[in-house]
């Protein structure tokens, strides 16, 4: 029977560890997904050891070849986890020893799992964040494309879920694209901020063999090294920042999901989801439920929960590495997985959804032009505070008659102010109202087209 692998930390201990504690302490079941980052980091470390003559070039080549074989086993699904593989570092070093022999024991010279795991996490998150960023930009591209094609569709704009002013459907879509662009910019800034190297810091006090940390940083694609070893092994601010970023981005996804859930109801009927992103009822045959959107809305709470849970673990940890930090990986992994899936589902929903422009236009009502009526008088020289009151009186007059604001005659309006003339009839045009909002950022066609071009230019520069 094969001897169980020795623990990396076991030399000081003579008694057996409680099997329950072994399981409680192990992280291999979730941190194994960092196998690639761990192997890549170790390959660079082997090269740095040889550069400093701590190992020979022959030993370096043995280690590099062995680590490449270990990584290949993981990639092909052939790696076998055995008892005693408590984490990805232990598992990889154990398998490396089986492949290349005792030289594997030299790989950990001057290195601690403390700086090793901090490096692995940054490498893993850097790659994952780039993938998420690509999904986010694809989602923005979907929205921009749709906004351009459906530029002439108009709909009610809402505040407090009450009809407010007419807007373009494209303007609504782009309002979410701009949120996601800000998310993309924040993620790019975050990647740059955490792309610094902890490796070479040892357990906490630094490296005893004067390893070339700048060489390591260059090998691993880090822009710089972390300049304090205590900080390097304990810092998980980048995890907290990523979890906050993920939470905020999921909130933005949840918001458009909520809008579209409302717009897909029979009472609105502005949009209809594709069958691919809907489900039915087990009891009511007529139902078509927007489950994709409801799941997106619900998963925002899941990601926020990951952030709040990690922050509660992180807040009271004393200096340098403590085992509490094992709680950093699962929320990071889960948030990354949830974001990646959610962004792709959102893009799928938005690219396949049908809209009903006639329903949107039918939901417009003349009372939404009350502000335009006030602005008509402003153009006649009446102060806005006065015109606002006059327009409100016109709304009340129409309501008292159980009619529409646009049904009021010039004579009716003249009872409220003498500046009303026959040309007031031009106010009762939703298209004119929209086109009057033509400053940058407005809902007029020229303004919306400008937004589309700005986002297109940004996408072309960042892809």
pLDDT at 4 over 60: no
Mean pLDDT for the stretch of residues 344-354: 97
* CA 274 to chain centroid: 24
Domain ranges of the chain: 17-106, 120-196+234-362, 366-428
For 428-439, the pLDDT digits (tens) are 999 999 999 999
Q: Are 64 and 39 in contact (CB under 8 A)?
A: no
Mean pLDDT for the stretch of residues 343-348: 98
* Assigned CATH topology for domain 120-196+234-362: Fumarase C; Chain A, domain 2 (1.20.200)
pLDDT band at 11 (very low <50, low <70, confident <90, very high): low
Q: In the prediction, which pLDDT does 12 show?
A: 52
Please report the sign of the dihedral spanned by the C-alpha atoms of residue 15, residue 20, residue 24, residue 30: positive
Q: In the prediction, which pLDDT does 2 show?
A: 43
Mean pLDDT for the stretch of residues 161-174: 97
Nearest to 455 by CA among 169, 135, 142: 142
- The whole-angstrom separation of Cα 109 and Cα 51 is 13
For 405-414, the pLDDT digits (tens) are 999 999 999 9
pLDDT at 371 over 70: yes
**Is 160 marked active-site?**
yes
Mean pLDDT for the stretch of residues 248-259: 98
* Assigned CATH topology for domain 366-428: Ribonucleotide Reductase Protein R1; domain 1 (1.10.40)
Q: In the prediction, which pLDDT does 13 show?
A: 45
Mean pLDDT for the stretch of residues 41-58: 98
pLDDT at 184 over 80: yes
Q: In the prediction, which pLDDT does 45 show?
A: 98
State how far the alpha carbon of 388 is from the alpha carbons of 373, 392, 407, 436, in Å: 9, 6, 19, 18
For 381-403, the pLDDT digits (tens) are 999 999 999 999 999 999 999 99
- The whole-angstrom separation of Cα 377 and Cα 371 is 10
The burial class, CB within 10 Å (0-12 / 13-18 / 19+), for 276 is: exposed
Percent of the chain with pLDDT over 70: 95
**Is 176 marked active-site?**
no
Q: In the prediction, which pLDDT does 5 show?
A: 56
Q: In the prediction, which pLDDT does 259 show?
A: 98
Q: Are 246 and 336 in contact (CB under 8 A)?
A: yes
pLDDT band at 8 (very low <50, low <70, confident <90, very high): low
Mean pLDDT for the stretch of residues 280-304: 87
Question: Which CATH architecture group holds 17-106?
Answer: Orthogonal Bundle (1.10)
For 207-225, the pLDDT digits (tens) are 999 999 999 999 999 999 9
Q: In the prediction, which pLDDT does 1 show?
A: 36
Q: In the prediction, which pLDDT does 279 show?
A: 82
Neighbours of 120 (CB within 10 A): 27
How many residues would you count in the chain? Answer: 463
State how far the alpha carbon of 354 is from the alpha carbons of 157, 277, 363, 452, in Å: 19, 12, 17, 21
Catalytic residue, candidates 281, 308, 319, 404 = 281
Neighbours of 255 (CB within 10 A): 16
pLDDT at 15 over 70: no
Catalytic residue, candidates 14, 102, 160, 460 = 160
Mean pLDDT for the stretch of residues 172-187: 98
- Statement: the pTM of the whole predicted model exceeds 0.75: yes
Mean pLDDT for the stretch of residues 298-311: 96
- The whole-angstrom separation of Cα 463 and Cα 461 is 6
Q: In the prediction, which pLDDT does 244 show?
A: 98
Q: In the prediction, which pLDDT does 130 show?
A: 98
For 52-86, the pLDDT digits (tens) are 999 999 999 999 999 999 999 999 999 999 998 99
In three-state form (DSSP H/G/I as H, E/B as E, the rest C), the secondary structure along the chain is CCCCCCCCCHHHCCCCCCHHHHHHHCCHHHHHHHHHHHHHHHHHHHHHHHHCCCCCHHHHHHHHHHHHHHHHHHHCCCCCCCCCCCCHHHHHHHHHHHHHHHHHHHCCCCCCHHHHHHHHHHHHHHHHHHHHHHHHHHHHHHHHHHHHHCCCCEEEEEECCEEEEEEEHHHHHHHHHHHHHHHHHHHHHHHHHHCEECCCCCCCCCCCCCCCHHHHHHHHCCCEECCCHHHHHHCCHHHHHHHHHHHHHHHHHHHHHHHHHHHCCCCCCCEECCHHHCECCCCCCCCCECHHHHHHHHHHHHHHHHHHHHHHHHCCCCCCCCHHHHHHHHHHHHHHHHHHHHHHHHHHHHHHCEECHHHHHHCCCHHHHHHHHHHHHHHCCCCHHHHHHHHHHHHHHHHHCCCCHHHCCHHHHHCCCCCCCHHHHHHCCHHHHHHHCCCCCCCCHHHHHHHHHHHHHHHHHHC
Mean per-residue pLDDT of the chain: 94
Mean pLDDT for the stretch of residues 304-317: 95
């Amino acid at each position: 029977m094969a001897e169980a692998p020795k623990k990396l930390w076991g030399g000081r201990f003579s008694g057996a560890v409680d099997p329950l504690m072994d399981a409680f302490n192990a992280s291999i079941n979730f941190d194994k997904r960092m196998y690639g980052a761990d192997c890549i980091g170790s390959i660079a470390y082997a090269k740095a050891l040889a550069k400093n003559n701590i190992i020979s070039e022959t030993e370096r080549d043995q280690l590099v070849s062995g680590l490449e074989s270990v990584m290949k086993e993981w990639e092909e699904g052939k790696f076998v986890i055995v008892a005693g593989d408590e984490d990805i570092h232990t598992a990889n070093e154990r398998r490396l020893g089986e492949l290349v022999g005792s030289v594997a024991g030299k790989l950990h010279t001057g290195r601690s799992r403390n700086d090793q795991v901090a490096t692995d996490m940054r490498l893993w998150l850097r790659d994952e964040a780039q993938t998420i960023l690509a999904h986010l930009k694809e989602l923005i591209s979907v929205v921009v494309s749709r906004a351009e094609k459906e530029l002439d569709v108009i709909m009610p704009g809402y505040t407090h879920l009450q009809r407010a002013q007419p807007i373009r459907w494209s303007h609504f879509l782009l309002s979410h694209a701009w949120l996601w662009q800000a998310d993309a910019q924040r993620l790019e800034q975050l990647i740059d901020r955490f792309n610094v190297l902890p490796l070479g810091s040892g357990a906490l006090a630094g490296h005893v063999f004067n390893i070339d940390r700048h060489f390591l940083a260059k090998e691993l694609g880090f822009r710089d090294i972390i300049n304090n070893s205590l900080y390097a092994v304990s810092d998980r601010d980048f995890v907290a920042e990523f979890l906050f970023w993920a939470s905020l981005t999921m909130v933005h996804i949840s918001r458009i999901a909520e809008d579209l859930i409302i717009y897909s109801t029979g009472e609105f009927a502005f949009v209809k989801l594709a069958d691919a992103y809907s489900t039915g009822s087990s009891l009511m045959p007529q139902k078509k439920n927007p489950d994709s959107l409801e799941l997106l809305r619900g998963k925002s709470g899941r990601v926020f929960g990951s952030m709040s849970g990690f922050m509660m673990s992180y807040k009271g940890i004393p200096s340098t590495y403590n085992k509490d930090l094992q709680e950093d990986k699962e929320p990071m992994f889960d948030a990354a997985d949830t974001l990646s899936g959610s962004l792709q589902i959102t893009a799928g929903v938005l690219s396949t959804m049908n809209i009903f422009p006639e329903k949107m236009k039918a939901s417009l009502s003349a009372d939404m032009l009350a502000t335009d009526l006030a602005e008509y008088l402003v153009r006649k020289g009446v102060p806005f505070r006065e015109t606002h009151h006059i327009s409100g009186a016109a709304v009340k007059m129409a309501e008292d008659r159980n009619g529409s604001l646009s049904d009021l005659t010039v004579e009716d309006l003249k009872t409220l102010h003498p500046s009303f003339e026959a040309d007031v009839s031009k106010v009762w045009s939703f298209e004119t109202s929209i086109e009057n909002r033509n400053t940058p950022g407005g809902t007029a066609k020229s303004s919306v087209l400008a937004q589309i071009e700005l986002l297109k230019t940004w996408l072309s520069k960042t892809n």
